[in-house]
Amino acid sequence: MQELLLKDPVFAMASSQFDRVADFLELTPDIRQRCKWPKRVISVSVPVKMDDGTTKVFPAYRVQHHLSRGPVKGGLRYHPKVNVGEVAALAMWMNWKCALLGLPFGGGKGGVTCDPREMSVGERERLTRRFTTEMIPFIGTQIDVMAPDVGTDSQTMAWMVDTYSTHLGHLEPGIVTGKPVNLQGSEGRTEATGHGVAFLAAQALEKLGIRADTATAVVQGFGNVGSFAAKVLDRYGVKVLAVSDVSGAVCNDAGLDIFELEKHVIATGGVAGFEGGNSCDPQAMLEMECDILAPAALERVITKENAGKLRCKILAEAANGPTTPEADAIIEARGDIFVIPDILCNAGGVTVSYFEWVQSLQHFFWGGREVMEKLETMLAEAFRKVVRFGEKHDVPMRVAALGLGISEVAKTKETRGLFP
């Protein structure tokens, strides 16, 4: 399994990041091995009756990186390119992210290889219900708690709650997070990741001495994370110059009207054709001059081809794994871009997921303002911790963030010891 995972470029990337940080932390060989490899890699086939009467079998995976610090936590992705290596990499990053934020979770990730945009609502519902059923032996509120990711949303989570609860015979809302508020979801969860991205980008602006109301941003991806990041940046006074999604890219030097853009996306399904801006090349958009570049779509978009051409001051990694290690080396050598690494930058989502899990288990619910205040307090503290660690050890922000997360997991493993 280890060799198979290493063949995937996304897992190879997570693995090389881990090796670099494990060297820096001087982890002993035994702890290093125990931290690096996933505890469980679950692969299932999910048969679904399609609307045309045929049956399609979708490959699906759930990777539970570690359970040492608590149940695993992580999203469920529906995308045509999902494969086991990518899912294992995302689970590994979730592990370090939860540890960095001090959340009592291990990292997990799931994915189904499918194209949700080509499927009807009914097909997506049947897929979700059957996937949840296949997962029943492996999940639980103290074992594995899923959440939305690319291609899934609060409705997907609602179907999972219903399927799991029907199996148990009573409502178990704590089995997932990111569910609708009327099904005991948390206030603030939907916007949490994008809100956190914008909040941390504002912290970085402050550190660089740039006023938010003079700053500019470019956002790749206008789904859950990208759209909320753009809206909150806009609220801070940052001018959003360009936004892309799978349909294309739009830009406006005077700043896009994000709320009008959102209406357009709801009406047409994508940013392409938005009248409040000009269409532009999605790849060239990444190289536009701006203060904040926020890749909020998929992994491996900042590569050795474009890293040298970026003209941003802050790279806010809203997506997981958007920067390849080769690009990282170029950015480090340039030394003129402040990187907010993914495991910090998008941690707002799992932090509010933690709040939601706590509320679901206690059946005691918090107001939206309380959620956002607690979120900002935790993110600001994590940001300070990473900056301080980086400055103290003279290492880049990514090594600092991963170093803090990985050493936390290593300490837990050492303290618990090895059974038997």
Interacting residues with ligand NAD (CB under 6 A): 148-151, 193, 220-226, 244-246, 282, 296-298, 318-320, 346, 349
Neighbour count for residue 346 (Cβ, 10 Å): 29
Identify which of 228, 186, 266, 253 has the alpha carbon closest to the alpha carbon of residue 346: 228
CB of 197 to ligand NAD, least distance (A): 9
**Size of the chain in residues:** 420
Among 138, 225, 123, 121, CA closest to 175: 138
Task: Report d(CA 34, CA 275) in Å as an integer.
Answer: 53
Q: Which is nearer to ligand NAD, 260 or 391 (CB)?
A: 260
Q: Is 231 a catalytic residue?
A: no
Cα–chain center distance at 203: 19
Distance of closest approach, residue 157 Cβ to ligand NAD, in angstroms: 11
Residue 159 and residue 132 in contact, taking contact as beta carbons nearer than 8 Å? yes
Say which residue the tokens 């994508």 belong to. 270
Report in angstroms how near the CB of residue 97 gets to ligand NAD at its nearest. 8
For ligand NAD, give the closer residue by CB, 159 or 222. Answer: 222
Task: Reduce the DSSP state of residue 177 to 3 states and report it.
Answer: coil
Task: Look up tokens 């508020």; give the residue.
Answer: 181
Query: Closest Cα to residue 225, out of 268, 189, 277, 180?
Result: 189
Q: Which residues contact 394 (CB under 8 A, 6 or more apart)?
A: none
Q: Could you tell me the smallest distance in angstroms from the CB atom of residue 221 to ligand NAD?
A: 3
Helix (H) or strand (E) holding 250: strand 248-251
State which amino acid sits at residue 175.
Answer: I
Please choose, from the candidates 198, 211, 274, the residue with its C-alpha nearest in 3D space to the C-alpha of residue 242.
274
Nearer to ligand NAD, 132 or 351 (CB): 351
Give me the residues paired with residue 64 across strands. 40, 108
In this structure, the dihedral spanned by the alpha carbons of residues 252, 256, 257 and 262, taken in order and rounded to 10 degrees, is 120
Helix (H) or strand (E) holding 57, with range, is strand 55-64
For ligand NAD, the closer of residues 216 and 224 by Cβ is: 224
**Residue 375 and residue 352 in contact, taking contact as beta carbons nearer than 8 Å:** yes
E strand map for 278-352 = 278-280, 289-295, 311-316, 338-340
Residue 52 Cβ vs ligand NAD, minimum distance, rounded to whole Å: 25
Q: Which is nearer to ligand NAD, 32 or 73 (CB)?
A: 73
When CB distances to ligand NAD are compared, the closest residue is: 223
**Of residues 8 and 395, the one with the C-beta less far from ligand NAD:** 8
Nearer Cβ to ligand NAD (226/403): 226
Distance of closest approach, residue 265 Cβ to ligand NAD, in angstroms = 8
Q: Which of 73, 97, 109, 413 is catalytic?
A: 109
Which residues have a catalytic role annotated?
109
